[in-house]
Structure formats: structure tokens, C-alpha cells
């Protein structure tokens, strides 16, 4: 078997790792996108049906995020020691069942309960599945494959938001049908991959990781072989630098949610800009999707370059949006550039963890670092709302965004310089 797989790699034959990549794409495009990227289309119709304020209904999404944060450490330990087919299939089942049950809910507390169930289910899928599988199955092009897979959280939103909206508008309680269809798509479209395609590591198929037989080219990510335990990592300065990075980059990415409001603030002076508020959001989402793949490619050559490219695009985007809002074309360019730094949250963070601590105890270490981002996501929107409502307004938001990116740049470079040795 070893001779066969070695010959297969030399001849450029098909590697099972490509099926793992496809499985990761299905995970991000279906359960992750349907539960997270498409959540917003339900806020208004469901809150109107229940006769409650939108904030009361959307509290379920906060509960979902809290459930994700609380279960991250446990999920990291379980994924590091268990068959990923079982863990990921159970996660898909919980997410799909949660969506189906959302379509059956009639009281607010029932939505909250479903939110908690989906939070437990979707957390391993959105945070841990892609980095864990790609790190295990790929020795090279890790950044590219990780960025490609994570891009489908946004692509899935682009595909299914219109579908869900059409279903919601199909009847007085169309939102029930939309939730049910989304749940069925999650289960039918993803479980075949998690049950029958996913394998925890190449050794399960008698293979080496993709690219393992190739000569090292000196790129930084290749330094991720071996690694340290989570207990040891938590006592290292690089770990806490990455905790800071993950938390602050999550805080910074949340500025995206307020870009439409920024465009609308020019309704009196620049009505053409205010009218394009939705396009501004779309430009940022396009930057995020393209940025995930772009940053993955750059990081495969140099982690430092990936950090500088991401932060550089983010700072440039903020400055353009802040100083040149009168030109719609430049405003859209700025939003697009900011979308690239947004992509660093799910691309740069796992790659930095892998480089700093290796792959030996990766799921446990990455899950603990990700807790900072999950915690920050629960308060970031409130923080930026307070900033915008203050005397400083949107200019202060942009200034603080630049400060956030400077902190992230410094913490990332510190983690790279202080990676675990041996």
C-alpha cells in the first residue's frame, strides 16, 4: 500500500485529500451557511408572527453564540481523541434537527432552546472541522485549501439567502417552510460526506498527507510538524498573543455590520451613496470571500506576508471609506478591501495556531484560542453601537478599527517570533 500511494503521489494521481476538501466545502456551504449566514432573513417575519420585538427573537442567536463559546473547549478535546466521522455527523444532525424544529416552534422559549441546540451542533463545524481536517490531510497548500473551504460560508449565504427569502414569501407562514427546507438540505446534503467520506487522518486510508512526499520549499507553514500539548501551550507567551489576536480581529471584523449604516448616514449630503448601502455590504462580502482564498495562497508562502497583506488591505479600506466617501466607486473599493481583513478571522487565526504550536494537539489549542473570538462576538456589536452613538461617531469607529488592526499585527508577529521549539 505504501509503495502504491508513494507512486501515486509522484505521478500526480488523485489523492483522497481532495475528497476531504470537498467534504469541508459541503460542511461550510450547507450547515454553517444555512444556520449562520442565512439567519438574518428570518428575523423580521418570525418576530412579526410572534408579535414580539425583533431584539427579543434575535436573542436566540445570542444564545446560539453563547452555546458555541461554552462548548468550544469540550469539542476541541473530543475532536482530538475521537473518530471525526462520529463527531461531525452528530454535529450536522444537531444543526439540521435544530433548523427543522425552528420551523415547528410556536413560542419564544422554544426558539431559544433550538438556538442552544444549534449552537452546540454548529460550533465544531464552523470553528474546528476545516482546520482540523485540512491540517491532518494536507502537508502543503494548507492555507489555500483552508481559505477555499471557509469561503463557502459566504458563498452558501449568497446561494441560499434568495432561496430562503422566496420560501418565506410563499405564504403567511413561509418561514416555517424555509426552516424545514434548510434543515432537510443540511441533513441530506452533508451527512453522506461526514459519515462515508470523512476520515480523521490519512493513516486511516493507508496514505500520507497530500504533499508529504514533496521536497520542502522553505515556506513557513511547513514548520508545523509535531507540536506541543495544549497544557504546555497555555503557558507560552505565543498562546496569549494569539488569544489577543483572535479576540481583537473578531472585534474589528464586526465593523462590517455597520458599513450600511455608515453609507446611510450620508442620506442628506450624498443620497446616491446612502441609496447604495446594500451594495456596500455586498462589496465587503465579496472581499471576504475572495480574501479567504487570497490570504490562504499568500500564507502558504509566508505567514508574515499574510498578516501584512490582510492588515494592509484593512487599513487601506478603512482610510478610503473614511476620507473619500463622496465617491461611490471608492467607497465600494474600501469596503472590498476591508472584507479582506475580515477574512483573517477564519484563515489567519488557525494558520498562526498551527505554525506556533504544531499539529500534535491542534484541535484543543485552537478551540481555546477561538474562545476569545467567540466571547468577543457576543459583545462586539454593542461596543461599536456605543462608539457610533458617541460624540466621535463613525470617524472614531474607523480610528479604533485601525488601532485594532495594529494590535493584531503586533500580536501575530510576536506569536510567529515566539513559536514553540522542538
Whether the pLDDT of residue 113 is over 90: the answer is: yes
Mean pLDDT of 389-418: 95
Mean pLDDT of 67-93: 92
In a domain, 158, yes or no: yes
Whether the pLDDT of residue 10 is over 90: the answer is: no
Give 210's strand partners: 138
Mean pLDDT of 381-404: 92
Q: Average model confidence (pLDDT) for the chain?
A: 89
Task: Indicate if 245 and 120 belong to the same structural domain.
Answer: no
Mean pLDDT of 374-386: 85
Angle, to 10 degrees, between the axis of helix 17-27 and the axis of helix 130-137?
170
Whether the pLDDT of residue 21 is over 90: the answer is: yes
pLDDT in tens, 229-241: 889 999 999 999 9
Task: Indicate if 129 and 30 belong to the same structural domain.
Answer: yes
Whether the pLDDT of residue 278 is over 80: the answer is: no
Instruction: Provide CB contacts within 8 A for 199, sequence distance 6+.
Output: 16, 20, 84, 85, 205
Task: Indicate if 37 and 84 belong to the same structural domain.
Answer: yes
Categorize the per-residue pLDDT at 154 as very low, low, confident or very high, splitting at 50, 70 and 90: confident
Phi, psi for residue 386 in degrees, rounded to 5: -65, -40
Residue that terminates a domain, selected from 142, 167, 201:
201
Categorize the per-residue pLDDT at 87 as very low, low, confident or very high, splitting at 50, 70 and 90: very high
Q: Which of 169-183, 268-282, 345-359, 401-415 comes out lowest in average pLDDT? A: 268-282
Mean pLDDT of 321-347: 92
Task: Indicate if 70 and 192 belong to the same structural domain.
Answer: yes
Whether the pLDDT of residue 2 is over 80: the answer is: no
In this prediction, residue 117 carries a pLDDT of: 97
In this prediction, residue 12 carries a pLDDT of: 55
Q: Are 161 and 139 in contact (CB under 8 A)?
A: no
Task: Indicate if 197 and 239 belong to the same structural domain.
Answer: no
Rg, the chain, Cα only: 21
Q: Which of 17-31, 176-190, 255-269 comes out lowest in average pLDDT? A: 255-269
User: In degrees, to the nearest 5, what angle opens at C-alpha 290 toward C-alphas 274 and 319?
Assistant: 45
Indicate the number of domains in the chain: 2
Task: Indicate if 56 and 189 belong to the same structural domain.
Answer: yes
Task: Indicate if 389 and 241 belong to the same structural domain.
Answer: yes
In this prediction, residue 55 carries a pLDDT of: 79
In a domain, 7, yes or no: no
CA distance linking residue 177 with residue 182, whole number of Å: 8
In this prediction, residue 174 carries a pLDDT of: 94
In this prediction, residue 310 carries a pLDDT of: 96
In this prediction, residue 251 carries a pLDDT of: 93
Categorize the per-residue pLDDT at 201 as very low, low, confident or very high, splitting at 50, 70 and 90: very high
In this prediction, residue 108 carries a pLDDT of: 95
Mean pLDDT of 327-335: 92
Whether the pLDDT of residue 3 is over 90: the answer is: no
Task: Indicate if 246 and 133 belong to the same structural domain.
Answer: no
Phi, psi for residue 15 in degrees, rounded to 5: -110, 140
Task: Indicate if 98 and 234 belong to the same structural domain.
Answer: no
Residue 384's CATH number: 1.20.1250.20
* Domain of residue 284, residue span: 221-417
Whether the pLDDT of residue 1 is over 80: the answer is: no
In a domain, 305, yes or no: yes
Task: Indicate if 130 and 238 belong to the same structural domain.
Answer: no
- What pTM did the predictor assign? 0.84
In this prediction, residue 277 carries a pLDDT of: 77
Categorize the per-residue pLDDT at 215 as very low, low, confident or very high, splitting at 50, 70 and 90: very low
Residue-wise over 159-189: b if at least 16 C-beta within 10 A, else e? bbbebbbebbeeeeebbbebbbbbbebbbeb
In a domain, 123, yes or no: yes
Amino acid at each position: 500500500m505504501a509503495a502504491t500511494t508513494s507512486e501515486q503521489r509522484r505521478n500526480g494521481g488523485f489523492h483522497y485529500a481532495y475528497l476531504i476538501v470537498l467534504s469541508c466545502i459541503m460542511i461550510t456551504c450547507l450547515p454553517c451557511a444555512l444556520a449562520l449566514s442565512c439567519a438574518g432573513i428570518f428575523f423580521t417575519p418570525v418576530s412579526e408572527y410572534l408579535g414580539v420585538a425583533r431584539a427579543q427573537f434575535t436573542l436566540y442567536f445570542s444564545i446560539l453564540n453563547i452555546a458555541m463559546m461554552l462548548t468550544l473547549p469540550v469539542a476541541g478535546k473530543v475532536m482530538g481523541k475521537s473518530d471525526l466521522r462520529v463527531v461531525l455527523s452528530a454535529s450536522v444532525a444537531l444543526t439540521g434537527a435544530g433548523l427543522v424544529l425552528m420551523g415547528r416552534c410556536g413560542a419564544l422559549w422554544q426558539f431559544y432552546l433550538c438556538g442552544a441546540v444549534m449552537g452546540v451542533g454548529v460550533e465544531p463545524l464552523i470553528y474546528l472541522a476545516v482546520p482540523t481536517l485540512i491540517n491532518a490531510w494536507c502537508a502543503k497548500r494548507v492555507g489555500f485549501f483552508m481559505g477555499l473551504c471557509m469561503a463557502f460560508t459566504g458563498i452558501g449565504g449568497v446561494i441560499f439567502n434568495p432561496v430562503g427569502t422566496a420560501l418565506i414569501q410563499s405564504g403567511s407562514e413561509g418561514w416555517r417552510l424555509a426552516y424545514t427546507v434548510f434543515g432537510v438540505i443540511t441533513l441530506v446534503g452533508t451527512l453522506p460526506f461526514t459519515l462515508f467520506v470523512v476520515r480523521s487522518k490519512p493513516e486511516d486510508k493507508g496514505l500520507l498527507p497530500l504533499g508529504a512526499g514533496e521536497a520542502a520549499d522553505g515556506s513557513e507553514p511547513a514548520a508545523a510538524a509535531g507540536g506541543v500539548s495544549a497544557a504546555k501551550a497555555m503557558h507560552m507567551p505565543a498562546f496569549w498573543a494569539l488569544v489577543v489576536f483572535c479576540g481583537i480581529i473578531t472585534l474589528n471584523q464586526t465593523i462590517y455590520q455597520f458599513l450600511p449604516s455608515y453609507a446611510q448616514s450620508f442620506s442628506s449630503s450624498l443620497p446616491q451613496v446612502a441609496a447604495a448601502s446594500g451594495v456596500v455590504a455586498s462589496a465587503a462580502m465579496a472581499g471576504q470571500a475572495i480574501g479567504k482564498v487570497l490570504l490562504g495562497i499568500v500564507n502558504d508562502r509566508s505567514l508574515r506576508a499574510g498578516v501584512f497583506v490582510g492588515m494592509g488591505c484593512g487599513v487601506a479600506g478603512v482610510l478610503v471609506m473614511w476620507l473619500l466617501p463622496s465617491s461611490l466607486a471608492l467607497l465600494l473599493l474600501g469596503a472590498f478591501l476591508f472584507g479582506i481583513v475580515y477574512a483573517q478571522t477564519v484563515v489567519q487565526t488557525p494558520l498562526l495556531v498551527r505554525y506556533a504550536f504544531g499539529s500534535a494537539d491542534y484541535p484543543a489549542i485552537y478551540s481555546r484560542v477561538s474562545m476569545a473570538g467567540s466571547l468577543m462576538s457576543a459583545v462586539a456589536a454593542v461596543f461599536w453601537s456605543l462608539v457610533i452613538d458617541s460624540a466621535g461617531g463613525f470617524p472614531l469607529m474607523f480610528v479604533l478599527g485601525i488601532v485594532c488592526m495594529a494590535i493584531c499585527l503586533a500580536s501575530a508577529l510576536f506569536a510567529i517570533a515566539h513559536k514553540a521549539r522542538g
